[in-house]
Amino acid sequence: MSMQDFRECRLCAWDCGVNRTEEVGVCKVNLPEVAYTCLAESLESFSITLLGCNFRCLYCNAYRLSQYPDTNWFYRGYVDPEALAREAIEKLQGAGIEKLGFTGGEPTIHLPYIEAVVEAAKKLMPALQVSFTTNGFASEASMTRIVDLCSSITLEINAYHDDTHLALSGAPVEPVLRNAAYLIKHRDKLRALKTVVVPQINDAEIEEIAQFIASIDPSVPYHLIGFRPSFMLYYHPGPSASELKAIAKRCEHHLETVTWGGAYPREPAFAASGAELARRYARSAGCIRSDRNCGSCSMNRECPAVLREPWLCTPHTHGRGTGNEGDT
């Protein structure tokens, strides 16, 4: 791992130039630390989540790790790149997949570490694919390195106008739009561009983001994600399905592929109440016990519901649910 990038850090667009072995810049992060790792079912990859971020997004649902160390939570910490590579390849081989994903927080601020992990991992699995999820606030040089390193990149655009982007994330939008344009021109590396839809804050600008993307390449996939109340916007409501659908419809006037998900439920997803409503939510997440008795469950030590990604659950029918899952 090259330490020079950390000794005069210019990895992101803040261009702090600080020596991160001794002090911190805007991201408030010294050397790379791992929050956690897991096999990500929805992405078919081994995902490495890194601590720290160069944004302060009001709605961040991972703020305990993105705003580390201020949140005073304890995580895994520094892991030697070669040791992490060996762990990742062992898990990937066991699952029969060949993708290694990096997320955060914001992985750009750890780019030299990521490059070292990938280099070591590819010695063990030459066909390894690398995915990267970013807020797009990389320096121009870092963005070039990310594109060179990765086979699949997802970039998030929080808003189109600078004042809204600053208000939502604490950072100017120009570097994000610049890097989005650069990534679109390297279409073979682009998985999708995405925006978290925050009603009454950035929802009126989303069609402008779609127009910006279409001005470069209208075939680029654009994904809208419904904001869920969290962090500084804990009491702010998320968008309904009808709101997301309407915004997506407007974007479709400019782009060929627009998808959306994560509508904020304005009513229970099942026609039930009390204990039965709770049990139905548990079943939709993968719980195998109709009585929810964990002490009697044969899968208690490897519960299929505990780490189920919420977007893979099925209660989106608003008032309908089969309710016929039982013990197995």
| Domain co-membership, 19 together with 40 | yes
Question: Residue 179: pLDDT above 90?
Answer: yes
Interval 93-152: pLDDT, tens? 999 999 999 999 999 999 999 999 999 999 999 999 999 999 999 999 999 999 999 999
Structural domain for 315, as ranges:
271-328
* Mean pLDDT, residues 70-93: 91
Average pLDDT, the chain: 90
On whether both 247 and 301 belong to a single domain, the answer is no
Q: What does the pLDDT look like over 222-272, one tens digit per residue?
A: 999 999 888 999 889 899 999 999 999 999 999 999 999 988 876 777 788
Q: What integer pLDDT is reported at residue 328 of this predicted model?
A: 28
pLDDT at 203 over 50: yes
- What share of the chain in percent tops pLDDT 70? 92
Statement to judge: residues 287 and 193 lie in one domain: no
The residue out of 213, 231, 261 marking a domain boundary is: 261
pLDDT recorded at residue 281: 83
CA distance 119 to 68: 27
213 pLDDT above the threshold of 90? yes
Quick one: DSSP state of residue 196?
Answer: E
Q: Is residue 317 part of a domain?
A: yes
Q: Give the pLDDT confidence score for residue 310 in this predicted structure.
A: 57
Q: Are residues 241 and 137 in the same domain?
A: yes
**Angle of helix 206-216 relative to helix 174-184, nearest 10 degrees?**
40
Residues 201 and 277 in one domain: no
- The three-state secondary structure class of 65 is helix
The position carrying tokens 């590396």 is 189
Q: Is residue 238 part of a domain?
A: yes
Q: What is the pLDDT of residue 264?
A: 85
What are residue 222's DSSP bridge partners? 193, 258
- Whether pLDDT at 314 is above 60: no
pLDDT grade for 320, boundaries at 50, 70 and 90:
very low
* Residue ending a domain, choose from 261, 284, 300: 261
How confident is the model at residue 299, as a pLDDT? 87
Q: Who's near 35: CB < 8 A, 6+ residues apart?
A: 49, 50, 51, 65, 68, 75, 76, 104, 105
Q: Are residues 171 and 305 both part of a single domain?
A: no
121 and 229 inside one domain: yes
Return the closest-CA partner of residue 65 out of 105, 110, 108: 105
Mean pLDDT of 297-306: 83
Residues 196 and 140 in one domain: yes
For residue 315, give the DSSP letter: -
pLDDT band at 323 (very low <50, low <70, confident <90, very high): very low
Residue 82 has pLDDT above 60, yes or no: yes
Give residue 155's pLDDT.
Answer: 98
pLDDT of residue 307: 63
**pLDDT for residue 56 is more than 50:** yes
pLDDT of residue 124: 97
Q: How confident is the model at residue 319 (pLDDT cuts 50, 70, 90)?
A: very low
Residue 7 has pLDDT above 80, yes or no: yes
User: What is the average per-residue pLDDT within 166-173?
Assistant: 96
Residues 227 and 278 placed together within one structural domain of the fold:
no
Total tally of structural domains belonging to the chain: 2
Q: Sheet containing 222-226: which strands, arranged edge to edge?
A: 34-40, 45-50, 99-103, 129-134, 152-156, 190-197, 222-226, 258-261
What does the pLDDT read at residue 280? 87
pLDDT exceeds cutoff 60 at 315: no
Residue 266 lies in a domain: no
Mean pLDDT for the stretch of residues 316-327: 33
- State how far the alpha carbon of 148 is from the alpha carbons of 111, 131, 140, 249, in Å: 12, 12, 13, 34
Residues 106, 77 share a domain = yes
Which of 240, 261, 282 is the last residue before a domain boundary? 261
